[in-house]
Amino acid sequence: MLLRQRDSQVLLRTKALAESLKDVAAELRLVDLADFVTFIHREQFANIQDLVNSSVELFFKHGTLTYGAMAAFELEWDRPPAITLGMEFHYKSVTILFDLMLQTYDAGVEIRAMIFDEDLASSEEETQVFIQAIAAARLSRPNKSRH
């Protein structure tokens, strides 16, 4: 029973993180795939960092979401190409290390590690702190209904 509760909390966290990164992933998918492959192949990680930074700065507070200096690509004959970027999220007492996977029309996340600077009573409380941290780190969107 404890394992199922933990699995459901991991799923909630993954969904919350993925939802918060939709805009960032869409921005990164505007970059030509060949550029990502070239930068990864030539280990030009500073170029990837620049691309990530320019995409992230539109949606997250400065320094909260960063490129974690890891990238990989998959080019197979029988499936669409994919780029994986190691990412880090830091806000107040929450640190998340995760992979952002980009494909032509889709994106996904896989959480590798979560660190909380404070001891929390339960997995559910950790999830709430996690979701609040992501929401607080996002930049507020301008109201488009003004005339």
Beta strand pairing call for 79-91 and 65-76: antiparallel
Taking only the tens place, the pLDDT of each residue in 73-101 is 999 999 889 999 999 999 998 999 999 99
Domain boundaries defined on the chain:
7-137
Strands 107-116, 94-103: pairing kind: antiparallel
Please give the pLDDT value at position 7: 77
Alpha-carbon span 126 to 147, nearest angstrom: 41
Low-confidence ranges of the chain (pLDDT < 70): 1-6, 141-147
Burial call 27-56: b when 16+ CB within 10 Å, e when fewer: bbbebebeebbebbeeeebeebbebbeebb
pLDDT of residue 121: 72
- Residues in Cβ contact with 74 at an 8 Å cutoff, skipping those fewer than 6 apart: 81, 82, 83, 84
- What burial letters (b/e) apply to 63-85, b meaning 16+ CB within 10 Å? ebbbbbebbebeeeeeeeebbbb
The answer to pTM > 0.75 is yes
Instruction: Give me the pLDDT at residue 4, please.
Output: 52
Coil, strand or helix: which one is 116? strand
How much is the pLDDT for 1? 35
